[in-house]
Each structure stands twice: as structure tokens, then as C-alpha cells.
Amino acid sequence: MSLLDAIPSGVLPPLPVAIPLAVCALILMLSKRLHGHMPDILATLTALVASALCMLIATRAAESGPLIYWFGGWTPRDGHAVGIGFQIDAASAWIAAFIGLLYAAAFVFAWGYFTNVHGHFQVLMLLFLAAMTGFCFTRDLFNLFVWFEVMSVAAFALTAYRLEGSALSGALNFTVTNSLAGFMMLGGIGLIYARAGTLDYEGLRLAVAANARDPVVAAAFCLIAVALMIKAAMVPFQFWLADAHAVAPSPVSVIFSGAMVSLGLFGLAKLTWVVFSGSDRILAALSDAMIGLGSLTAILGGVMALRQRHLKRMLAFSTISHAGIMILGIGVLSQAGAGGLLVYLVGHGLVKGALFMVAGILLATRASIDEIGLRGLGRGIEPAGIAMALGGLLLAGLPVGLLDQGTHLMQGALDERGHRVALIATVLGCGLTGAAVLRGAARIFLGWGSVAGDEARAPSEDEQEKADRPLWLMLAPCLFLLALDLAAPAGPVEDLVRNAVPNFLHMSEPQTALPHGIAWLPWLSVAMAFAIAGYDLSRGHLPKVLLKLGSGVQAGPFRLLDAAHSGLIGDYVTWIVVGLALLAGRLALA
Amino acid sequence: MTPIMSALPFCVAAWLFAIGLYGIVTSRNYIHLVGCLGVCQSATYVLLLAVGYRWDSVAPIFYDHPPGTPAVDPVVQALVLTDIVVGATLTALLLVMAIQVQKRRGTLDPEELAPMKEQQAADACKGRVAEPQR
């Protein structure tokens, strides 16, 4: 630590972005000379260093306020920002530190996966890491857009990595929808620049407060919010996610589900509070839209997760569901809500990352990802089964660990503001996604559930990943992530929410007493998960009447849902237009 | 400058974005779809340039003008340049993917390329599980 302490705060902010970029260039330059595991080692170390630097920034920011850095020394003149700056508060730095750790785990998990590609996988991943860190740190709207695009381009290339039929179709859907998101964001940036004449968050904040009822500002917000909600896979923008996450290599899916999707929400939360909170009109519309769409997303993602047999696709839908729960933390417009969002983001990233690693272990050791095809084939890799069941329980809301602390804060905030429907949606989302994962774990590792329900009709595909990797090397990062989630101490996390979140939100009057969630709610969702998974697994033994009742309830609307996830890019873009129109309409009415 | 003239570029931008979206929604060929995405992106160029345009002013190059001469906003022009770079990257990546799709599947029609439709669930099942109960 003494070496780290010697780094002055003045030069610290750009390092977590610059170091991965420099190592990218180095690996590319030496790609022909780096043999064996050298790219793996370099990439893992870089991610760890970036994460450690972010932790250092976080502790410094907690002591002496946000670290500000102006590139090229272009400090603001007369209160007018000319240059581009990073402003790093403790909460943003902790999120970036978590992302660095997740990358390190993903690199270890992918050890030896991509040996014959001259380190190109590591280059793309490090670029992805640098973009995410920059996205967290920046205080300039256009700079945010640039990181958003770098993140997207790296993600597109990583999705299409396998260059096979379905991977390419999934990547094309992902690329087109997220490129449209980028264009909308840029359009929004253009509009707000027309009013504010600056791109610096502080300048924008003043301009928004001065033009609170200006339709141009509202339109700018609408476009930027839709762009970030496409990234965050809110209904009705969620379609690309299941296609892309299901076909990406599993170490990449770890990052997609664990960090990329939730970063969209992180960006939205930051912009909402720092830039757009000066306009009552926008805040009112935003609160309604986020609570409504978030509740819908949480339930729909859960229902769809339960109807999948392709494990990665199932986990992708569960990510959609949990992203829906997270956005409620923005919509509730309180410090506890935003704090809950940030804690939930980290907890969910750890658990979902571990679950995608279990899927990767099955792909590598059992050469399949199909829940029904894998029934009973989990013998011999029981630790993976335990990890999967534990992950399922944590998703379902088992009241222990970081994810539960996030749920607790979020449910407390929702309860405090009287959003009953949203509160029920969080329980349903947790219960349904937990049930899907538990059902998969029991079917694969215990061989239960010989009669399949509706999930048998879901799309699936034979797929496998590079096999001759040691099991312990794949299990270690998976268990590490779960252990990290479980070991997070409750006291310090709550202190962090109390002290760091007001800085993150630029809030003048911090809340000292955080609301507490209802203690029995998590148990309700866990019980629900067990009940649904149990019902699905015991189809062979249940009386016919009960099964008929179950399928009768599921038949109509759920088939329509399946049909909506058509995999057709034209349909997805139509849904994006519908969503854009909905949000614009709500803003116009406000 | 009349109000019509100042509103025109914004209308053009909205129109470009809308027809681009229409093209993407109805496209039956990925190359055509990539072109439509380019049309959508042109909307952002027009919008940004319109935002920064000042009537009766020069390009923001002060080599042969004294500093202080009214000039159009250079910031948006920098944004448009960045946007063009992003657009080139995206188009290149999409075209690469389109070529690979054509090589592997022999078609460029999105309707025939929906992800994970090639192998229906029944095949992947391999008879391990009884038929789903109605």
C-alpha cells in the first residue's frame, strides 16, 4: 500500500483508463511474440491494477471529496468549462473498482480459452474495461457518449467472436439496436448543447434549471434516456439482450450481464440526478416512466426466464428482470433508492457473473448448454452445482450478502414512497428468476424433472466451448465472486450509502436515516422460487388437473410473449420506436 | 433569417431519422439495412451542424481572419467528426458480419436469420425427456 500511497491525487484519475488502453496497445504490438499464457497474465494483472487504483481513488474521494482532473490542464475559466474533465466521487470509484475485479475474474475464467488468436480477445476486453471506467468517471456529456460508443463497439465485436450462424445474427441485432441508441444519444446531446452551450455536467445542470419547462430540454432528456434504457434493456427495448448474451462466449457474457447492462442504469442515474434534477417536469415524468417500465420489466423478464431451456438465454432474461428492479431505484427519486441501485448493481453483478461462469463450465466440460439435454449430466462437477443453486437462492432474495442489502434498501425506499405495485414486482422478479435458476440446477445436477413443461418449446442450440481447461481454474473465480457477495459486511456498506451517495447525486440535503425494507419480503420471494421450481420439476408426479390448470394459466399471453421475441431486427426497432413515443408522450403531458 | 429557414434543418434531421428507421424495420437485406442505419446517422450530422450554425459568419479557422470574427461553433463540428469516425467503425463492423453471415448461411435476409431458430428444440432434446404435456 505504501507504493500506492505515494501516487499524488492529481495524477490518479486518468490512470485506471489509461493503463488498460496502454496494455491494449502493448499486447497488439507484441501479439506475435507473446506466447502461451502471457496475454492472459498481462490482462489479469492489468484488470487487478485498474481495480486497485479505483479503490485508492475511492478512499481518497471519501476523505477529501471528489477527485477532479482536467485533461490537458484546460481548467474552467470564469466558471465556463472549456476542456473535458473527470470527476470521481467515492461511489463511482467503487463501481469502477468492482468492474475491474469482475474483469480480473473473467480473465482467470477464460484462461487458455482463446489461445490461438494472438491476444485479440484480451485487447478487446481491456478496451471494454477502459471504456466502462471512463464512462463512470467522466463529467462531460460528449465524453460520456464517446465511452458509450467505445463500449458498444468492443461489445459488438466480442459478441460476434465465434463467427457462427446464431452468434452473427445475435451480434447483428445487438449492433443495430445499440447503434440506434448511440445516434439517439448524440441527437439528445446536440439538442441540449443548443440550449446550454456547454457539455460539462455542472454547466448543463445550471442550464436545465434555468430552462425547466423548455420542450427542447425535455426532448434531449427523452433521447438520452431512451439510449441508456436500450443499453439497460428496459421493456420494450430489451429484445436485443437475450439474443446477444445467449450467443456471446461465456466470459464475455459475465461482463455483459454483470457490468454492461447495469452501467446503462448507472449512467441514467448519474445524468438524472446531476444534470436533469433541476426540472420538475422531467423528474415527474421520469419517476412515472421508470416505476412503470421497471415493474413491467422485472415481471416480464422473470416470466421469460422461466420459459427458457438454453441456460445462457435464461440467465439473460433474468438479467433483464433484475435490471428492471434496479431502475426502480432511479424512479423512486430518493437517496435510499439510488444507494440501493448501486449496491444492487454490485451484488447482482457478482452473482450473475458467477452463474454465467457455471454455464461456461457446463459448456466446457459437458459440451452443452441445454437444460433438458443436460438433465442428470452434472455428476462429477458437483461444486458447480452448489454454486448454481447458491446463485439461484441469492437471486431469489436469500437474505444474506450484498445483493440482499441492495434489495433491502430498494424495497425500503419503495415502501417509504408508497409504490406498492413496484414492491410486488421486485418480489415477483426475484422469485421467478430464482425459480428458473433453481429448476436448472436441480434438473442438471440432481437429474430431477423428467417431464418438461413449456420450456421444452423454447429455442435452443448445440454449442460448446474449448474443453481442455482445468476445472478448478474455472471454478475458482466463480466461487470467489459468490464469496465476495456473501462476505460483504453490512455495516460499512450502509455507511457508504449514507456518506458517498449524496456526493454521487450532488445532493444538498443528505438523508441520515435510511428506510428499512420489510424483513419478511425476501423470504416470500425465496418461498415463491422454491414453489415454482418444485412445481416445474415434479410435473411427472403431479395430478393431471393441477397441470392442466397450470398450462391453462400460461397458455395465451405467454405464447404471445414468446412470439414477440422473434429475433427479427425489424420487430425490435419497431418496439424501440413505440417505447420512444411512449416516453415522449409522457414528457409532453407533464 | 426567417423562422422557416431556422426550423428547416431540424425538420430535415427528424425526417432523415424517420425514413432511416422505416428502412430498417422493413429491410429484407442486411446490406440495405446497414445503408438505412447510415441514413439514421446522417440525421445526427444535420442536427449537430444546424445547432452550431451562425448566419453571416465564417468557418472557425482564424488563419486569415482576425480573432473575434463571428464564426460558426467549432465544438459541434468536432462532435460531427467524432460521429463520422464512430459511423465508419460501425459500418465496417456490420459489413464484416454481413459477409460472414452470407458465407455461413448463404442468405442476407434477416427473416431467415433469426438467432437460434436453425435447430428446433425437439432436436436438441435428443429423446432424453418425455414430450411436454398439453
List pLDDT tens digits, range A515-562. Answer: 888 889 999 999 999 999 999 898 888 888 888 777 777 667 788 888
Put simply, the chain B residues between 36 and 55 with a CB less than 8 A from any chain A CB are 37, 40-41, 43-44, 47-48, 51
B75 to chain A, any CB pair closer than 8 A? The answer is: yes
pLDDT of amino acid A444: 94
- What is the average pLDDT across A440-446? 94
DSSP labels for B29-75?
A: SHHHHHHHHHHHHHHHHHHHHHHH--TT-B-S--SSS-TT--B--HH
Strand partners, A88: A67
pLDDT of amino acid A543: 84
Q: Is A139 helix (H, G, I), strand (E, B) or coil?
A: coil
Domain residue limits, chain B: 7-125
Query: Closest Cα of chain A to B58: distance in Å?
Result: 19
pLDDT-derived band at B16 (thresholds 50, 70, 90) equals very high
List of chain B residues whose C-beta atoms are within 8 Å of the C-beta of residue A183 = 17, 40-41, 43-44
pLDDT-derived band at B54 (thresholds 50, 70, 90) equals confident
What is the Cα–Cα distance from A433 to A352, expressed in whole angstroms?
Answer: 11
Percent of chain A with pLDDT over 70: 98
- What is the average pLDDT across A103-119? 85
Beta carbons within 10 angstroms of residue A357's beta carbon: 32
* Closest chain B residue to the Cα of A158, Cα to Cα: B93
List pLDDT tens digits, range A264-285. Answer: 999 999 999 999 998 999 999 9
What is the Cα–Cα distance from A379 to A377, expressed in whole angstroms?
Answer: 6
- What is the average pLDDT across A115-127? 85
| Amino acid letter, A207 | A
Query: Closest Cα of chain B to A182: distance in Å?
Result: 9
Q: Say whether A373 and B89 touch across the interface (CB within 8 A).
A: no
A183 to chain B, any CB pair closer than 8 A? The answer is: yes
pLDDT of amino acid B121: 42
Cis peptide, bond prior to residue A236, ω within 30 of zero: yes
Q: Examine the pLDDT at A4 and tell me if it is beyond 80.
A: no
Cell numbers standing for residue B128: 432424453
Range name among A16-20, A185-189, A491-495 with the lowest pLDDT average? A491-495
Q: Say whether A193 and B76 touch across the interface (CB within 8 A).
A: yes
- What is the average pLDDT across A150-156? 94
Q: Say whether A570 and B43 touch across the interface (CB within 8 A).
A: no
Cβ atoms A114, A251 nearer than 8 A: no
- What is the average pLDDT across A147-169? 89
Q: Say whether A453 and B132 touch across the interface (CB within 8 A).
A: yes
What is the Cα–Cα distance from A35 to A378, expressed in whole angstroms?
Answer: 34
Q: Say whether A168 and B26 touch across the interface (CB within 8 A).
A: no
- What is the average pLDDT across A6-12? 86
pLDDT of amino acid A479: 96
Q: Say whether A169 and B101 touch across the interface (CB within 8 A).
A: yes
What is the Cα–Cα distance from A132 to A567, expressed in whole angstroms?
Answer: 27
Q: Examine the pLDDT at B128 and tell me if it is beyond 70.
A: no
pLDDT of amino acid B130: 41
CATH tag, B7-125: 1.10.287.3510
* Closest chain A residue to the Cα of B95, Cα to Cα: A172
Cell 454454486 sits at which residue?
A: A387
Put simply, the chain B residues between 95 and 124 with a CB less than 8 A from any chain A CB are 97-98, 100-101, 104-105, 110-111, 113-121, 124
Mean pLDDT of chain A: 91
What is the Cα–Cα distance from A86 to A444, expressed in whole angstroms?
Answer: 47
Query: Closest Cα of chain A to B25: distance in Å?
Result: 4
Q: Examine the pLDDT at B1 and tell me if it is beyond 70.
A: no
Tell which of A191, A460, A549 to mutate to test the B interface (max B CBs under 10 Å): A460
pLDDT of amino acid A2: 61
Burial of A388 (0-12, 13-18, 19+ CB in 10 A): buried
What is the Cα–Cα distance from A415 to A284, expressed in whole angstroms?
Answer: 18
- What is the average pLDDT across A109-135? 89
pLDDT of amino acid A460: 82
Domain residue limits, chain A: 1-139
- What is the average pLDDT across A48-60? 95
Please tell me the number of Cα atoms within 13 Å of A549 on its side-chain side: 6
Range name among A68-77, A137-146, B108-117 with the lowest pLDDT average? B108-117
Query: Closest Cα of chain B to A148: distance in Å?
Result: 11
Cell numbers standing for residue A199: 457539455
Burial profile A247-257: b = 16 or more Cβ within 10 angstroms, e = fewer: bbbbbbbbbbb
| Amino acid letter, A316 | A
SS3 string of A228-282? Answer: HHHHCCCCCCCHHHHHHHHHCCHHHHHHHHHHHHHHHHHHHHHHHHHCHHHCHHH
What is the Cα–Cα distance from A507 to A525, expressed in whole angstroms?
Answer: 33
List of chain B residues whose C-beta atoms are within 8 Å of the C-beta of residue A157 = 93
Beta carbons within 10 angstroms of residue A266's beta carbon: 26
Measured N-to-C along each axis, helices A261-274 and A120-137 cross at an angle, to the nearest 10 degrees, of: 20
Measured N-to-C along each axis, helices A382-396 and A402-416 cross at an angle, to the nearest 10 degrees, of: 10
- Cα Rg of chain A (Å, integer): 23
Cβ atoms A311, A440 nearer than 8 A: yes
Nearest in space to A109 (alpha carbons), one of A472, A483, A394:
A472
Q: Say whether B101 and A165 touch across the interface (CB within 8 A).
A: yes
List of chain B residues whose C-beta atoms are within 8 Å of the C-beta of residue A460 = 116, 119, 121, 124
Cβ atoms B86, B49 nearer than 8 A: no
